[in-house]
């Protein structure tokens, strides 16, 4: 995709937004939230949200299952490796080729699922892979997936309002979403030359936006205009929301998909759960605001997603007969 020129932003910290009015659809109180969202998306690309209404038990359940999953013997995890799946579902081992490119290795292992849809002409439709050794993982992940989709709707409404668009502007495009739920585990690392080994190297996310839960350790950092890495320290009861590449494109760069990375400097295992909100794969995106800033082609969501995934994740290598 041709990205609009990235706006490099100067910010000292990540704002905290009260999402309550949006989540409750409280029209009287919504204007202040929408204004905070506009500021955060334009000036930072990242925000914390509080009052999101995601039930704590669903969260605690998936965190416990994630820890169980990553503690399974390597061979159990490898039995559901992404490289066995043509549709990028399953386990990503430590040091998979990620955003670090030629520069180094990541120190993150992951587990990804998406909606299960029948195989068809879109190469990312298909089944998930689930570890036989941990059947309870499936329920926990689907409960959490459902909670994340429920939360994504009011946030999309907030983004539309923050852009001065009709509140339902993003609803139809996100009807059959390609959203991805990914569990992450970062073992503690010795911090040496940061470009060589890192939790996850500097990158921008690929979808519309991301809803991230992080544990109480810390380690997520966001890059500002001065080139400083600004910490996103954990705040209990919040999620971190970040604008991703498709919304940056959709808004012609008004909303920022901001570079971020993870370094686990804390000597303990770190866990996070990312929900990458994607539109339906057939969605055709072209900039809907600030069109006077340059001229841009449109992007087909599924094509862009496939390109991103092929670049960042391992894929099944065709076996010769
Ligand atoms: C990601 C990501 C941050 C974290 O998965 O894209 O940036 O804290 N994760 O794990
Ligand atoms: Ni990310």
Closest ligand 1 atom to 232 CA: 8
pLDDT confidence tier of residue 321, bands split at 50, 70 and 90: very low
pLDDT confidence tier of residue 320, bands split at 50, 70 and 90: very low
pTM of the model: 0.94
Residues 54, 147 contacting (CB under 8 angstroms): yes
- Alpha-helical segments (H) within the chain: 20-23, 27-43, 56-70, 74-78, 136-162, 245-250, 301-312
- Which ligand is the nearest neighbour of the Cα of 258? 2
pLDDT tens-digit map of 227-262: 889 999 999 999 999 999 999 999 999 999 999 999
Q: How far, in Å, is the centroid of ligand 1 from the Cα of 230?
A: 15
pLDDT confidence tier of residue 131, bands split at 50, 70 and 90: very high
Share of the chain above pLDDT 70, in %: 90
Whether residue 272 has its Cβ less than 6 Å from ligand 1: yes
More confident: 211 or 266: 211
Whether residue 205 has its Cβ less than 6 Å from ligand 1: yes
Testing ligand 1's pocket by substitution, the residue of 210, 217, 258 carrying the most ligand atoms inside 8 A of its CB is: 210
Residue 34 has a pLDDT of 98
- Which ligand is the nearest neighbour of the Cα of 180? 1
Those residues whose beta carbon sits under 5 angstroms from the ion ligand 2 are 205
Closest ligand 1 atom to 240 CA: 8
Residue 316 has a pLDDT of 63
pLDDT tens-digit map of 41-94: 999 999 999 999 999 999 999 999 999 999 999 999 999 999 999 999 999 998
């Amino acid at each position: 995709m041709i990205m609009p020129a990235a706006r490099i932003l100067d910010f000292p910290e990540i704002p905290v937004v009260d999402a309550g009015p949006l989540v409750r659809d409280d029209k009287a109180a919504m204007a202040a939230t929408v204004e905070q969202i506009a500021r955060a998306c334009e000036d930072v690309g990242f925000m914390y949200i509080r009052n999101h209404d995601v039930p704590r038990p669903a969260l605690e359940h998936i965190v416990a299952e994630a820890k169980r999953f990553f503690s399974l013997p390597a061979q159990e995890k490898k039995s559901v490796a992404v490289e066995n799946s043509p549709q990028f579902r399953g386990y990503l081992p430590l040091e998979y080729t990620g955003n670090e490119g030629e520069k180094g290795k990541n120190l993150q292992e992951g587990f990804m699922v998406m909606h299960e849809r029948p195989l068809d002409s879109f190469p990312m439709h298909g089944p998930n892979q689930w570890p036989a050794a941990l059947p309870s993982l499936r329920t926990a992940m689907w409960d959490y997936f459902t909670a994340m989709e429920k939360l994504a709707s009011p946030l999309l409404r907030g983004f539309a309002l923050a852009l001065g668009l009709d509140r339902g502007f993003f609803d139809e495009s996100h009807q059959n979403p390609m959203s991805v739920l990914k569990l992450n585990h970062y073992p503690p690392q010795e911090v040496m030359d940061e470009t060589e080994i890192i939790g996850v190297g500097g990158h921008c996310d690929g979808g519309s936006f991301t809803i991230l839960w992080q544990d109480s350790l810390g380690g997520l950092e966001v890059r500002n205009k001065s080139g400083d890495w600004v910490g996103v320290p954990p705040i209990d009861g919040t999620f971190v929301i970040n604008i991703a590449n498709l919304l940056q494109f959709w808004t012609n760069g008004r909303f920022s998909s901001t570079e971020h990375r993870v370094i686990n400097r804390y000597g303990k295992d770190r866990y996070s759960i990312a929900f990458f909100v994607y539109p339906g794969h057939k969605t055709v995106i072209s900039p809907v605001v600030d069109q006077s800033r340059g001229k841009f082609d449109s992007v087909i969501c599924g094509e862009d997603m496939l390109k991103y995934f092929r670049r960042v994740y391992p894929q099944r290598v065709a076996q010769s007969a």
